[in-house]
A and B are shown apart, each in its own frame.
Chain A
Amino acid sequence: MTSPGLEHILFISAALFFIGMYGFFTRRNLITMLMSIELILNSVNLNFIAFNKYVWPDKMDGLFFTLFIIAIAAAEAAVAIAIIINLYRSHQSVDVESAKNLKY
């Protein structure tokens, strides 16, 4: 068994990214959409780690970026969930279709 190469990891991260993208575009439930965004973010994280390990093994930049992204994702999730709760309170639904009051 050989250890996985860079391309394997990039493949997984690309798959995660597009799964997240697909979920984001097809789902109507805002919670699910939020989860899809997390998938996209994590695919980016995976990219950072992979490049850090295979291309510049003696540097730490990629790891730090990943840590920042995780922190920001947490904050973003908190904000997003707050928005979703408020939306639910006013529209009695978390369907993204119902939240279109801001159109022209």
Chain B
Amino acid sequence: MNNLSYIALIPLLPLAGFVLLGLLGKKYFGKAAGIIGTLFLFISAALAFYTAYQYFSSGFNGVYQPVIAFKYTWLQFSENLSIDMGLYLDSISMMMIVVVTLISLMVHIYSLGYMKREERFSTYYAYLGLFTFSMLGLVLSSNIFQIYMFWELVGVSSYLLIGFYYDKPSAVAACKKAFIVTRFADLGFLIGILVLSYVSGSLDFNTMIQTLTQPESSTLKTAVASSFLGVSAVTWGGLLIFMGGAGKSAMFPLHIWLPDAMEGPTPVSALIHAATMVVAGVYLVARLFPIFAITTPVVLEVIGWVGAISAVIAAIIACTQTDIKRVLAYSTMSQIGFMMFALGVSKYGGEAGLGFTASMFHLFTHAMFKALLFLGAGAVIHYVHSNEMKDMGGLRKSMPITHITFLIACLAIAGFPFLSGFFSKEEILLAACQHNAAIYWIALFTSGLTAFYMFRLYFSIFWNREHLTHSEIQTHKKSEGPFVMMLPLIILAIGAAAAGYIPFGKYVSTDGRPLESHFDLSFSILPVVLGIAGIVSAWIMYKKQNPLPDKLSSSFGALYKASYHKFYIDEIYLFITKKVIFNLIGRPAAWFDKNVVDGMVNLTGNATQWLSGRIKKFQSGKLQSYTLLYLMAAVVMAAIIIYVWK
């Protein structure tokens, strides 16, 4: 591992693809744009895999040291404070580049088929390139400000891709909503960065973590001593940074943008809103984990609870939604909640850091099976031209590949034994059980629900109806999708099935030392039984059309209704923004602007006009009166000089 600067190519190649396709794509490449974008990403992915392989095989001396492959000081403020552009290699960033490039490559290939008929095909690939570049830059950042910049870049590319169908009003509203909500959270993130960099005197991750995790250092003591509203500065910094992460990762109560973000093309949902961008918040917390764990355990507590609440709320909502992409969106939110609270219950170092490893492990496996679910859902939508569950059913015979891969993904997410989700979820539950019993029970309940709503989805799509109408049979005769759409499904299905067998604890842990993961089979019994119970109840209710679901929903009554309306959180936001903020702040501010600010400006203008009207008479254009005035002035000046001044 001598010359590491080639790693810079991993993010730069997608950027090159973005520039090339963005500038010239429409005119010169047309349908070849997809192939070009995919090719760029393929090279990038190959490099990423190679780098990760190198790192995990040769960087191993008992501890995985972070390596800074490349560093360029961009803005130097003072001796210690500078904004750098760098590449930071450690176990979690290595894992992330593998995930990002792999999922992105799959989505690129899949989109060759899925987006084939789009007019803005090359623009789509340009945006995908931009997103991949930003995401890779984000995970490889060596500096917290660099991460912030890429953070905003992924926000922008997410905005562009959600609003890809810009002639659809709902997509336009959704992309605006996503951008504004995450931007609002990023405001907290920015303030958090400023606070933390102010107390630690550095923007560099390494230095920052070092200064803020040594209890005896004087900087930390002053930082802990200085407080605002009874909470120390470091805690505030950590909380605000977590706010940014919660916004991006769609944690309660900043999750409202994620379900709407499903307006974008389905492969985009798979890439951005399921596998990669939304886990950026988890990644950020993991990146700063030593600070959270050692210096500000309070924040970690908050992270744990926010994660757990998000997980359970999203799971409840997912049970009642009828749009398949929305079900998946809420399921994503729920799974990210799992990752968050796994971080929240973790401690730093050794065995106690199990939650951290579990969280990263779940991030990895979740990326596989959730991308697979979305791509599978995309294939279904492609096939039936609808997002609604009621338009589907009985598709298992006409879409065999999608059916099998979707089933594998559902089993994986439900934690069915020996598929990837089982291992990572067991690890999370184990970590929760060891450190926080309340969160453990919530998590257990949620994983049961997860199995239920995923299989509700599965049975509704692929079983439910046996007797198809004539027109449906006609449409069902066509093939389930081109090869380029099926290939990613198969690859990801292999990933979703097998990713759990990677000895993750060996590679990723809080302090870089390998963590022995040991499975306690007796511990696994309860979650697995709950998961199977969820699957079986979904089987009873949705395998065949029957009145049971309706009966059940009416017996739940208010809870069902609240869940169906997503607990009215959107309405609460609307009430706060439209009614409270608009009337109490917006209107008075508008009045103030119209009357006071504009009034001042108008006053200045009017006064000047009046005054100039008065004095313009001097400019008579009469040469002799000018001269007379000049003469008089000269006489007066002379008199002053002679008599007064002497």
Residues of chain A having any CB pair with chain B under 8 Å: 21, 24-25, 96-97, 99-104
Residues in B whose Cβ lies below 8 Å from that of A96: 622-624
CA of A100 to CA of B617, assembled, Å: 13
Bits for B609-638, please: 1 = Cβ < 8 Å to A, else 0: 000000011011111100110010000000
Q: B617: shortest Cβ distance to chain A, in Å?
A: 7
CA of A84 to CA of B343 in the docked complex: distance in angstroms?
92
Cβ–Cβ contact A100 & B627, under 8 A: no
* B628→A100 contact, CB < 8 A: no
B622 proximity list for chain A (CB < 8 A): 96-97, 100, 103
A102 CB contacts on chain B under 8 angstroms: 619, 621
The answer to whether A25 and B621 have CB atoms under 8 Å apart is no
CB distance from A81 to the nearest CB of B (A): 16
Contact A24 B616 (CB under 8 A): no
Would you give the shortest CB distance from A71 to chain B, in whole angstroms?
23
- Bound complex: CA A25 to CA B622 (Å): 11
Q: Which residues of A contact B620 (CB under 8 A)?
A: 100, 103-104
B627 near A24: Cβ-Cβ < 8 Å = yes
5 A-B contact pairs sorted by A residue (CB < 8 Å)? A100-B620, A100-B622, A103-B619, A103-B622, A104-B621
B623 contacts A104, C-beta separation under 8 Å: no
Q: Are B623 and A25 in contact (CB under 8 A)?
A: no
B61 to chain A, nearest CB (A): 87
B624 touches A24 (CB 8 A): yes
How far is the CB of B608 from the nearest CB of chain A, in Å? 15
**A-B interface, 10 closest residue pairs, ranked by CB to CB distance from nearest:** A103-B621, A100-B621, A104-B616, A104-B619, A102-B621, A96-B623, A103-B619, A103-B620, A25-B624, A100-B622
B624–A21 CB distance below 8 A? no
Min CB distance B624 to A, Å, is 6
Q: Is the CB of A25 within 8 A of B627?
A: yes
Interface residues of B in 567-619 (CB under 8 A from A): 616-617, 619
Q: How many residues does chain B have at the interface if contact means C-beta atoms less than 8 Å apart?
A: 11
Chain A residues, CB < 8 A from B628: 25
Contact residues in B for A100 (Cβ distance below 8 Å): 620-622
Quote the shortest CB–CB distance from B632 to chain A (angstroms): 12
Residues of B within 8 A of A99 (CB): 621, 623
Pairwise interchain contact B624-A101, C-beta atoms closer than 8 A: no
CB–CB A21/B619 < 8 A: no
Q: Do B631 and A21 touch (CB < 8 A)?
A: yes
Provide the residues of chain B in CB contact with A21, threshold 8 Å.
Answer: 631
Task: With CB as the reference atom, state the residue of chain B lying closest to A101.
Answer: B621
Write the chain B residue with the least CB distance to A24: B627
CA–CA, A4 and B628, complex, Å: 33
- State the Cβ distance, B621 to closest chain A Cβ, in Å: 3
- Shortest Cβ distance from A96 into B: residue: B623
Contacts A99-B621, A102-B619 given; 8 further ones with Cβ under 8 A?
A25-B628, A96-B623, A97-B622, A100-B620, A102-B621, A103-B621, A103-B622, A104-B617
Taking CB atoms, residues of chain B closer than 8 Å to A97 are 622
- The smallest C-beta distance from A103 to any residue of chain B, in angstroms, reads 3
Closest Cβ neighbor of A37 among chain B residues:
B627
A54 CA to B563 CA, complexed, in Å: 114
**Per-residue A-contact encoding for B276-300, CB less than 8 Å = 1, 0 else:** 0000000000000000000000000
With A and B bound together, what is the CA distance between A25 and B626 in angstroms? 10
- For A103, give the chain B residue with the smallest CB separation: B621
For A24, what are the chain B residues with a Cβ–Cβ distance below 8 Å? 624, 627
Considering the chains assembled together, what is the distance between the CA atoms of A57 and B622 in angstroms? 44
> Which residues of chain A are near B623, meaning CB under 8 Å?
96, 99
Give complex CA distance A96, B628 in Å.
Answer: 14
Give Cα A21–Cα B222 distance, bound, in whole angstroms.
82
- Which among A96, A99, A104 has the highest number of chain B CB atoms within 10 Å? A104
Expressed in whole angstroms, the minimum distance between the Cβ of B635 and any Cβ of chain A is: 11
Chain B residue, CB-CB nearest to A102: B621
Q: Which residues of A contact B619 (CB under 8 A)?
A: 102-104
Contacts of B616 in A (CB 8 A): 104
CA distance A1 to B621 in the complex (A): 52
Q: Which residues of chain B are near A25, meaning CB under 8 Å?
A: 624, 627-628
CA distance A100 to B624 in the complex (A): 11
Q: Looking across the interface, which residue of chain A has its beta carbon closest to that of B615?
A: A104
| Closest residue on chain B to residue A28 by CB atoms | B624
- Bound CA–CA A99/B46 (angstroms): 84
Complex Cα gap A97–B624 (Å): 9
In the assembled complex, the Cα of A101 lies from the Cα of B631 at a distance in Å of: 23
**Which residue on B lies nearest to A26, using beta carbons?**
B624
User: What per-residue 1/0 map shows which CB atoms of B215-237 lie under 8 Å from chain A?
Assistant: 00000000000000000000000
Complexed CA–CA distance, A25 and B624 (Å)? 6
A52 to chain B, nearest CB (A): 22
How far is the CB of A90 from the nearest CB of chain B, in Å?
15
- A63–chain B nearest beta-carbon distance, Å: 26
Docked pose: A101 CA to B624 CA in angstroms:
14
How long is the Cα–Cα vector from A24 to B620 in the complex, in angstroms? 18
Q: How far is the CA of A69 from the CA of B628 in the complex (A)?
A: 23
Question: In the complex, which residue of chain A has the Cβ closest to the Cβ of B619?
Answer: A104
Complex: chain B residue closest to A25, CB-CB: B624
- Give the residues from 418 to 459 in chain B that come closer than 8 angstroms, CB to CB, to chain A: none
A84 smallest CB distance to B (angstroms):
12
Tell me the complex Cα distance, A96–B620, Å: 12
For B625, give the chain A residue with the smallest CB separation: A25
- Min CB distance A70 to B, Å, is 22
Q: How far is the CB of A95 from chain B (nearest CB, A)?
A: 11
Determine the distance from Cα of A103 to Cα of B619 in the docked complex, in whole angstroms: 5
Q: How far is the CB of A93 from chain B (nearest CB, A)?
A: 14
Complex Cα distance A99/B624, Å? 11
CB distance from A96 to the nearest CB of B (A): 5
Q: Which residues of B contact A103 (CB under 8 A)?
A: 619-622
B231-274 interface bits toward A, Cβ cutoff 8 Å, 1 = contact, 0 = none:
00000000000000000000000000000000000000000000
Task: Report the Cα distance A91→B574, complex, angstroms.
Answer: 72
Chain A residue numbers with a CB within 8 Å of B627 are 24-25
Smallest CB gap from B617: residue in A: A104
CA A99 – CA B621 in complex, angstroms?
7
On chain A, the residues within 8 Å of B617 by CB distance are 104
Give the distance in Å from the alpha carbon of A103 to the alpha carbon of B616 in the complex: 9
Nearest B residue (CB) for A97: B622
